[in-house]
Structure 1
Amino acid sequence: MTTKKKKIVTKGKSTAYLKKHSDSAKAVVKTDAQKITKAKGVITSAEKKIDTSEDLLNKANGYRDQSAAYKALTKQIETAQSKMKTTKSKKEREQCAKKIKSLTTQRAAVAATMRKIANSAGYTKAMSQKVRADTVISNTKQAISDLKAKKVKDTKNYTTYKTAYNKKVLEAKQKLQRDNGVKIQNKIKAARKSKGLKNGFSTAIYRADRKTSRVFLFGEASPNETDEQDLPTHPVDKSDPRINYGSRNSKQLSGTYYLHGSSFSKLDAQFVILQGWARKNVEVVVRGFSKWNHAYLASVSKTMDEPYKDTLAIQLTLQYAEKAHIKYAKKSKKKSKASASKKKGSSKSTKKYVTVKAGMTYWGIAQKYNVSVSSLEKMNKWPARVIPVGVKVRYV
C-alpha cells in the first residue's frame, strides 16, 4: 500500500508558523547532509580495510585477475541499477532487472572462486575482512542513495516554506512602509495647518525606508546647499588650461534647524534619536529648502543661545548620496586556452593593468597614472559608475 504524499499548505499561514517550519525544514536538510558525509566516511574506512586485505590477497596466484573481474561486474551492476531508477519505460526496467540478476549470479561465482584461492593460500582471515568491508560499502552506498533522494525532497520542503516566509515578510514590510508613508504625510499636513510654534515648520526629515512613522519637523534658518565638483585641468603651453570632464565630489546641506516641543527633556530625547540615525547611517528623505530623496546625516549638534524650554536649536549637515551596491568579480577556476598555453618568443605585452579595490574610480586611476577618464572607459568594459572590486582595469 502506497502512502499519499503530504501536501504542504502555506496559504493563510502566519509569519511565525512559516518561520518555524522553515527553520525546522532547514535543520532536516542539514541533518541529511551530515548523515551523507558520515556515510562517506564509513566507505572510506572500509576501502582502507579492503586495501590492507588485498595487499595480502594479491600475492595468491590467480586472485588479482578474479578481483578485477569482480570489480568490473560490480560496476556493471551499479550502472544497470542507476538506469533502472531513471528510466520511465516498463520494458527497459524489465531488461535492467534481468541484466542485474544475470550479473549478480556471475559476480557470486567469481566471489566463490576468490574465496577458494584465498583459502588455499592461507589468507582466510584477510578474505573475511574484505568480504565484510565489501558488504559495508554496498549497504552504505545504498543508504547514501536513499539519503540523497530524501535530501532532495527535504530541500523542496524547505524551499517551499522559505519562499512563503520571505513573501510574507516582504508583504508585511511593504504594508508597513505604505502605512507609515501615509502617517508621515498626515503629520506634515497637520503641521502646516497648525498655529503657534509649529507654524514655523519648514523642513521635514524622515527615514527613506519608512520603518517608522517618525518625522522631524524643523524650523529652518540660514540653510546652505553646496555642490562641489572635481574639475581636473591640463596645462597647455602659452594658453589657458584645458578640461575634458568633471565629476561631483560632494553635495551637502547645512544650517540651523529649530525643533519645537512641550519640554526640553522631550526635545532632547528626539535629538538622541536623530543622533542614532546619524550613527547607524540611516538613509533619510529631506523636504524643505532642499528636496532630497537620498541623504545621510553627516553632522548633528545642539546649542542653546537662550534657555527656551520649548525650542531646541540643532545644527545639521546632510550629505547627498545613494546607497552603494559593491559588485565583486567572480574568480573562474577554469583556465583559458590562452593562459594555459605557454607563449613562445621574447615579445612582451605593452598593456598594463591595475587591480580594483573598494572605493577606486576611473578618476582616481586617471590621476595616478596620468591618463584620461575617456581613454579608460574605451579600454575597459565597465561603466564609470560601477567598477566591480577585484577586476583588472587596463590603463595603458
Structure 2
Amino acid sequence: MAKINGIKIDVLKESLQNDVELPSHPVEKGINLTDHVERKPVVLSISGKLIRPDNTTLETLLGRLSTIETKGTLVAYEGRRIYHNLMIAAFSYDADSKIMNGFNFSMTLKEVRFAAPSYVSLPAKTKAAVAKKSSVGRKQTVNKKQLPVSHVVKKGETYYDIAQKYGVKWQDVQKNNKYPSKQIPIGVKIKVG
C-alpha cells in the first residue's frame, strides 16, 4: 500500500530513474573530455491497481488524482521509499475483466525544482501631500495701504538725498512737506511716503 499526498493506492511495481548527464568535448588526441556532471531530475514510474469498494469512491479517487496532475500540485510519494517535490508527469488507467471495482494504472512522477525570484519587491511609492487644485482662476493682489514713512532731517540733507534713501521720487517728498527745497530745518520730521 503506497500513498500519494495521503491518498492510498495499491502499487505493484516501482521503477526509479536516477540519471546524470556527462557532457563531453572532443580533443585532438585520445577520448573526449568530460569536465562536469549534470544531475537530471529523478523520474519514478509506478504501476498498480486503483480499487475502491464502490463506483462513487472510485470516481472520487480518479478525480482527485487527475486534479493533482492538471493543477501541477507538488506530490509527496510514500512507497518503498519516500520522495518529495514530485509532480505527476503522466497518469493513465485502463479496465479489464479481472477487476470489478477498479482499474489498472500507470503513473510517472518527476522531481521538480522551482526558481526563486532574484529581485526584491520594494514598497509602493508614497505620493507627496499636495493641496487640491483650485478652479477659481487668477487672483488679484490686494495693495495694502502703507503707513506714511517719516524721516528726521539731518544737517546737509536735501529732498533728493532723502528720496534716494527710501527709493521714492524727490518731487513726491517735496509735495508732501511744506518746507521749501533750500530751507529744510534740521531735526524736523518730514513725510517720505
TM-score range, shorter chain: 0.5 to 0.7
Can you list the C-alpha shifts for 1:135-169, whole angstroms capped at 9, x where unaligned?
Answer: xxxxxxxxxxxxxxxxxxxxxxxxxxxxxxxxxxx
Partner residue, 1:195: none
Partner residue, 1:249: 40
Partner residue, 1:310: 101
TM-score by structure 2 length? 0.56
Partner residue, 2:3: 204
Partner residue, 2:30: 239
Q: Which amino acid aligns with 2:4?
A: I
SS in 1 for 2:42: strand
Please, which runs of 5 or more residues in structure 1 have no aligned partner? Answer: 1-200, 207-214, 331-396
Indicate conservation of the 8 Å contact 1:257/1:316, yes or no: no
Partner residue, 1:334: none
Can you list the C-alpha shifts for 1:173-207, whole angstroms capped at 9, x where unaligned?
Answer: xxxxxxxxxxxxxxxxxxxxxxxxxxxx2x1111x
Please tell me whether residue 262 in structure 1 is matched to residue 53 in structure 2: yes
Q: Evaluate the alpha carbon distance shift between residue 329 and residue 249 of structure 1 in structure 2; reply closer, same or farther with a 3 A threshold.
A: farther
Partner residue, 2:142: none
Can you list the C-alpha shifts for 1:188-237, whole angstroms capped at 9, x where unaligned?
Answer: xxxxxxxxxxxxx2x1111xxxxxxxx22122122211122221111122
Please tell me whether residue 322 in structure 1 is matched to residue 113 in structure 2: yes
Please tell me whether residue 277 in structure 1 is matched to residue 68 in structure 2: yes
Distance in structure 1 (CA, Å) of the matches to 2:98 and 2:63: 19
RCO comparison, higher one (Cα < 8 Å, 6+): 2
Partner residue, 1:159: none
Offset at residue 329 of structure 1 (A) = 7.4
* Partner of residue 220 from structure 1, selected from 7, 11, 18: 11
Q: Which amino acid aligns with 1:265?
A: T
Distance in structure 1 (CA, Å) of the matches to 2:104 and 2:54: 13
Offset at residue 283 of structure 1 (A) = 0.8
Offset at residue 293 of structure 1 (A) = 1.9
Indicate conservation of the 8 Å contact 2:96/2:103, yes or no: no
Q: Which amino acid aligns with 1:309?
A: M
Q: Evaluate the alpha carbon distance shift between residue 324 and residue 257 of structure 1 in structure 2; reply closer, same or farther with a 3 A threshold.
A: farther
Please tell me whether residue 291 in structure 1 is matched to residue 90 in structure 2: no
Offset at residue 246 of structure 1 (A) = 1.0
Can you list the C-alpha shifts for 1:332-388, whole angstroms capped at 9, x where unaligned?
Answer: xxxxxxxxxxxxxxxxxxxxxxxxxxxxxxxxxxxxxxxxxxxxxxxxxxxxxxxxx
Distance in structure 1 (CA, Å) of the matches to 2:62 and 2:11: 16
Q: Which amino acid aligns with 2:110?
A: Q
CA RMSD of aligned residues (A): 2.2
Please, which runs of 5 or more residues in structure 2 have no aligned partner? Answer: 122-193
Indicate conservation of the 8 Å contact 1:252/1:320, yes or no: yes
SS in 2 for 1:268: helix
Q: Evaluate the alpha carbon distance shift between residue 249 and residue 262 of structure 1 in structure 2; reply closer, same or farther with a 3 A threshold.
A: same
SS in 1 for 2:19: strand
SS in 2 for 1:270: helix
Distance in structure 1 (CA, Å) of the matches to 2:33 and 2:12: 40
**Number of equivalent positions:** 122
Offset at residue 326 of structure 1 (A) = 2.6
Indicate conservation of the 8 Å contact 1:234/1:243, yes or no: yes
Indicate conservation of the 8 Å contact 1:225/1:290, yes or no: no
- Counting only pairs closer than 5 Å after superposition, residues 142-221 of structure 1 correspond to structure 2 as 201=1, 203-206=2-5, 215-221=6-12
Can you list the C-alpha shifts for 1:28-85, whole angstroms capped at 9, x where unaligned?
Answer: xxxxxxxxxxxxxxxxxxxxxxxxxxxxxxxxxxxxxxxxxxxxxxxxxxxxxxxxxx
Would you tell me which structure has more helix in proportion to its own residues?
1
Would you tell me which structure has more strand in proportion to its own residues?
2
Q: Which amino acid aligns with 2:43?
A: Q
TM-score by structure 1 length? 0.29
Question: Percent same amino acid among aligned pairs?
Answer: 19
